[in-house]
Structure 1
Amino acid sequence: MASSSIFDILATQSALVEEASEALPFQFTQCTYALGPIRQAVYLCTTCAVPRGICSACSVACHTDHEQIELFPKRNFRCDCPTRGLSHSCTLHTVLEVENAENTYGQNFKGLFCRCSRTYDAQTERETMIQCVACEDWFHESCLNLRDRPSSRDPTPQPAAEAIQEVDDDAASDASSSGLPPPLISGTSYDALVCRDCVKGIPTLKRYAGTPGALMVIRDSASDPWRVVGEEVLAETLRDVEVTDGDAHAATAGTKRPRSGSLDEVVQAKRPKEDTVQSETTKTSSLCLAPAPNDIVRDIVSSLDDSVHSPRGAGDVFLTEGWRERWCRCSQCLPSLESHPYLLEAEETHEPPEDPDSGLSLEELGMRALQRLPRDRAIDGIRAFNEMRDELMNHLRPFAQEGKEVTEADIRGFFEAKMAATK
């Protein structure tokens, strides 16, 4: 057995405490059921063997010893832990509630993901998975035509024609797939993904697909390689644009928000405030500013309503930074956006309250625990600690006198002897 000095042991313990505080910096003492349907991180407890979802607090406090799958944020979701939907009793919300009738349980609650309906194993999956901002399901890069399917994967089964997923946000992953070449669109090149089944149900998004800032992966024919459309910037909209009250929205609709500071300053100078855009759009609601797609994109989008999709593209849309600001808000475009509020405004995701003990050392945690005890029990605890400290010092004194290194086995032997003496 390799030897470890007391400094190595203390350093290891300190690193473990720091790692734990970074991984779990929150208090998990309150179930979110009382908050009603909210957007929150959801976990699937596979041990309970029922397709229901639990909140972060219940995943830690109530299902500690159970196998779980992290489903990440789900909107309009209420924790199922304290309801009759799960037989396992909730330790945080002790009143038994009726089952949640408004929760939506898609295929993720069966442990299946993507349009190929595969299970996810973090240890073996080579591809990055990307979350749809609309249905909040997760998709393989190869299923989005961003790359060829890795040879190690089995052939992807075709999804059922009627299969429609429902679930969001922060879709672009900066992580590259393990040992694979870069995808056709990098994670830093877009801000959100909307999968084809969700595009199909949003008319305004269908109109924007493949236009600047709404990237699509297409090909000219079934034998041609995949390419990206929508990357080009409409230079004429960034040049010689004079914004007036009547055409304020025209300066922003359909343009791609630039990343460079100087160009961004030009656009910002011409971009009115959002409330102004909406009020002006109301006055000129008959003018639609949605850009027209090219012929291939039009063919792909029109095929989304068919049972057989176009071989020239799946219909997924990758929205670049600033996409919420670029929508046309005319009387034709705005209604389908308003029926999906997350397309107009970024959503808030509930997080448990921060743990005030997070980041404290073991000594500080010990003192905090003592302060919370009744005085007589705290005194007994301090006395017991001092006795153990004195015994440990007597055990280690010969090592110091002889200049010997204290190993892990020496420390372990001390505590094993203490435990044996108390039996």
Structure 2
Amino acid sequence: MVSNKLVVLGGGESGVGAAILGKSKGFDVFLSDRGELHAKYREELIRRDISFEEGQHTEAVVLAADLVIKSPGIPDKVPLIVSLHEKGTPVISEIEFASRYTDAKLIAITGSNGKTTTTLLTYHLLKNAGYNVGLAGNIGESFAWQVAEKKFDYYVLEISSFQLDNIVDFHPQVAVLLNITPDHLDRYNYSFQNYTDSKFNIIKNQSARDHFIYFDDSEVILGEFSKREIIPSKLGISLNHEIKEGAWFDDGYLAINSKERPFRQDFSELPIKGPHNAVNAMAAILAAQSVGVETDKIKTGLLSFVNAPHRLEQVAVINGVTYVNDSKATNVDSVFYALGSFSQPVILIAGGVDKGNDYSEIEELVRQKVKGLIVLSVKYEKLRDYFSDIVPQLYITQDVQDAVNQAKSWGVPGDVVLLSPACASFDLFNNYEDRGDKFKAAVRNLEKS
């Protein structure tokens, strides 16, 4: 008999979507959020006659559940979740729940960096080829909501480690693992192995008929191959060496070595730049090939792709200086990739809420490429102290317009002004989108002056 009392913890996009799917499948649904629900989600719940509370979790109601779906933002170690585990109540993620009610083929993409671009590009390649495909996970509309109300044959899912922590039978036919670098370690008892294990959950239910696409240059990923059985068919990606079955970067070309459909694509023709995006593009191509997309459709899709905002997004060229918004770069690894995307001198705008960053990872690139560092942050001391003797000039501010104005004063034709913060945004902004939008507005003010 199906568990009937379903409690959803968290009333954001994924939580409300899970509640809607639960109700459509006959569950007695109750949604609980410790914060205040967004008005549009509150209205949806009322309209659909789904019971909910906000501003608290009523423990007695939650603990009476037969099944709990929790927001990825709620750690497993909070007392309420611990109590549920002790009681033996299943606690799962929205992606696990939604996957139980769809026969669609799933392409699931994870990694510490690059997963949003890869997910969007993979979705674009399938959509461009005429596939009936949905976009979900960490991006777009709720996976569960789409399963409840739409009928897609394929889903491309951006999946975080937090979502993978609470899967049971989630089974993607195509799994992509782009990289594993230290991130969110506070959620994993500061154990990098725990975080790595979470990422590898993406393949735990795959069969020999499925595909596992991975970055073959990652020592962390390759190191795990000796520790665990890899059941699905492996497709590697490399920037440094030829891959017999997979893809590699060959003298400026994306070289796809596939038994069925090998091809080459001049990477310089694509609208996305930098070695990290070469990896993302090869992953998307292999994923699209794995579900049968034809080569000519892949080639046209690659050329027409438009990336999401805040990811190496060119904002403007003013007096020969290019302004680039990379506000999504909230860790050092992302800044490493961003700096590697440019051969021109860079004026770097960085800073925010430091997550235990190790700036030695980018020190050599900063020495080579950065002609000036602008620290946009309330707590600026760590960046200032690390880079003051490394960069030719350094400026500190808490105002994004002031930061952009200072960058303009340093810039000469051919330079790049790059917002790539390496930090979270919450000291001065609502989120990374807000930071990126305010940076773009500040650049546009330069155009007017």
**TM-score after normalising by structure 1:** 0.25
Greater relative contact order (Cα 8 A, min sep 6): structure 1 or 2?
A: 1
Between Structure 1 and Structure 2, whose CA radius of gyration is higher? 1
| Higher strand residue share | 2
